[in-house]
Structure 1
Amino acid sequence: MDLNLRKAILSNIASNNQEQLEATIVDAIQDGEEKMLPGLGVIFELIWNQSNEEDKQEMIDALEQGVQQATTS
């Protein structure tokens, strides 16, 4: 079976408005289910590819802080 997970995820969110996209992200994070991780990865990829270098650096900084907080808690 040839399943392109990235295309399936993009197809599922293609017609979503901003509120729906935000709800998808929030729900996936709050649920904490590992089955949601691929979807969040695809969403992050879209964000990353649309971001300029300054925005990317801000994301990396936020990620670094988040990792430090998560590993010291």
Structure 2
Amino acid sequence: MDLNLRKAILSNISENDHKQLEATIVDAIQDGEEKMLPGLGVLFELIWEQSDDQDKQEMIKSLEQGVQQANTGS
């Protein structure tokens, strides 16, 4: 079975507006379900590809801080 998960996820959100995209992200994070992780990965990929170098550095800094907080239990 040849399933292109990335294309399926993009197809599912292709008609979503700003509020729907935000709700998708918030719901996926709040639910904490493992099955949502690939979708969040595809969304992050889209964000990354649309970002300039400064935005990418800010995201990496935020990610680094989040990882540190997660590791310290804060």
Q: Which runs of 5+ in 2 are unaligned?
A: none
- 1:1-40 pair list within 5 angstroms: 1-40=1-40
Share of identical aligned residues, percent? 81
Runs of 4+ in 1 over 3 A off after TM superposition: none
State the alpha-carbon separation in 1 of the partners of residues 45 and 70 from structure 2.
22
After superposition, give the CA deviation of every residue in 1:9-48 in whole Å (9 maximum; x if it has no partner).
Answer: 0000000000000000000000000000000000000000
CA RMSD of aligned residues (A): 0.2
Partner secondary structure for residue 2 of structure 2: coil
State the alpha-carbon separation in 1 of the partners of residues 36 and 22 from structure 2.
14
State the alpha-carbon separation in 2 of the partners of residues 22 and 62 from structure 1.
19
- Normalised by the length of structure 1, the TM-score is 0.99
State the alpha-carbon separation in 1 of the partners of residues 58 and 22 from structure 2.
19
Q: Which runs of 5+ in 1 are unaligned?
A: none
- Normalised by the length of structure 2, the TM-score is 0.98
Partner secondary structure for residue 20 of structure 1: helix
Question: How many positions carry a matched residue from both structures?
Answer: 73
CA shift, 1:63, in A, is 0.1
